[in-house]
Amino acid sequence: MLKFDAARKTREAGIYPYFREIQSDQDTEVVINGKRVLMFGSNAYLGLTNHPKVKEAAINATKKYGTGMAGSRFLNGTLDIHTQLEHKLAEFVGKEEALVYSTGFNVNQGVMGCLTGREDYIIWDELDHASIIEGNRASFSTKLKYRHNDMDSLEKQLQKCEADKVKLVVVDGIFSMEGDVVDLPNVVRLAKKYNANIMIDEAHGLGVMGKNYSGKGVHDEYGLTADMDLIMGTFSKSLASIGGFVAASAETIDYLRHNSRPYIFSASITPSATAAADAALEILKAEPERIKNLWDLTHYALAAFRSMGCEIGHTSTPIIPLFIRDNEKTFIITKQLFDLGIFVNPVVSPAVSPSDTLIRFSLMATHTKAQVDKAVECIEKVFKEMGVLPQ
């Protein structure tokens, strides 16, 4: 039997930070064990999980279609609202068609697991999301990892590939742990040089980045939509629901529709989740001021953490890593901040190396500057007591 005692040890030390039960809605403040705390650990970047139109859409869909589909999209699980949402998503991100999966994780598993063959190549950034790593494992292609956002490393891996084989470069738009943005212009440059295809994971870019606060993602921010062969996104962040999608050419989507095993063999997303994502997408498109406010808060928080002397890496987004660089200290600080009414997420090994542990501080468009000020004040207090800030 596998010996696993890490969780037991942190529980016994009173610093176990996972599975904290929330007894309220997912908002800028939540209730845990009867205590109100400020939520800076959520991916609900636009703060839409409580929007009246989103909740109303979910309720109405449940009344009309029921609570579940009891089958996959391939057989009995396709609703008209599934198809409607796919059309809207494809148009939104600028591709011919889109395909909705049960989760964003399933998208990466299902796309990468079947699009390339045994003689082909998948080239991926070492800090890509875990779902991309699982997609790699599902594929029979040769997998080549390059150093994070290092274009020389990417080029060296592309040079290893046979010229006449399919080469799929898979990147996060915004990297989920450290909040930095992919060097997409140079990824495109190298892909063109070596005749490679590109898949971008916009899980954290959708609803956050894009020209003129469009929320379409990193590909739109750089004006490189036409150079993306596949654009992936999730509903569980800015779109206030659960599920995911991939958008691409009509031919590619039709192939996935008939060959992607996580799509074919998973029950389709519920009517309520579908309608909620649809409603959130409409709000996203209609209210760019939400995204602008998110960025105003981001710049405000980044300036505060830099002024404090926090090590925050290369982030420029609403995901702000506060590096601790010690596993146990990261757990202790997370607990101390919670006791002060601040919910943040610890990121420790094996998700990162023990020397790269951090607290992930995430912003929502619905946070106030007063809430950010309170969090910064508490973080500075705890960081000073724990010797994290420079003397």
pLDDT for 114 beyond 60: yes
Strands 230-234 and 197-201: parallel
Q: Which one from 176, 260, 266, 362 is the annotated catalytic residue? A: 176
Q: Looking at residue 192, what is its pLDDT?
A: 98
Query: What are the angstrom distances between the C-alpha of 337 and each of 29, 61, 132, 290, 345?
Result: 14, 39, 32, 28, 10
Residues of each domain in the chain carrying CATH 3.40.640.10: 52-286
- Region of 267 (left: φ > 0; alpha: ψ -120 to 50; beta: rest) is beta
Which amino acid is it at 147? R
Q: Which one from 95, 216, 237, 335 is the annotated catalytic residue? A: 237
**What is d(CA 286, CA 302) in angstroms, rounded to the nearest whole number?**
27
Band of residue 355 on the pLDDT scale cut at 50, 70, 90? confident
Active site residue 176: yes
Active site residue 87: no
Whether residue 323 contacts residue 312, with contact meaning beta carbons closer than 8 Å, is answered with yes
Query: 6-39+288-385 architecture in CATH?
Result: Alpha-Beta Complex (3.90)
Q: Which one from 167, 204, 219, 367 is the annotated catalytic residue? A: 204
Check: pTM over 0.75? Answer yes or no: yes
Span 366-382, pLDDT tens digits: 999 999 999 999 999 99
Question: Which of 38-42, 261-265, 349-353 bottoms out in mean pLDDT, i.e. has the lowest?
Answer: 349-353
CATH code for the structural domain at 52-286? 3.40.640.10
Span 53-84, pLDDT tens digits: 999 999 999 999 999 999 999 999 999 999 99
Residues of each domain in the chain carrying CATH 3.90.1150.10: 6-39+288-385
Q: Kindly tell me the sign of the dihedral angle through the C-alpha atoms of 187, 349, 360, 106.
A: positive
Band of residue 99 on the pLDDT scale cut at 50, 70, 90? very high
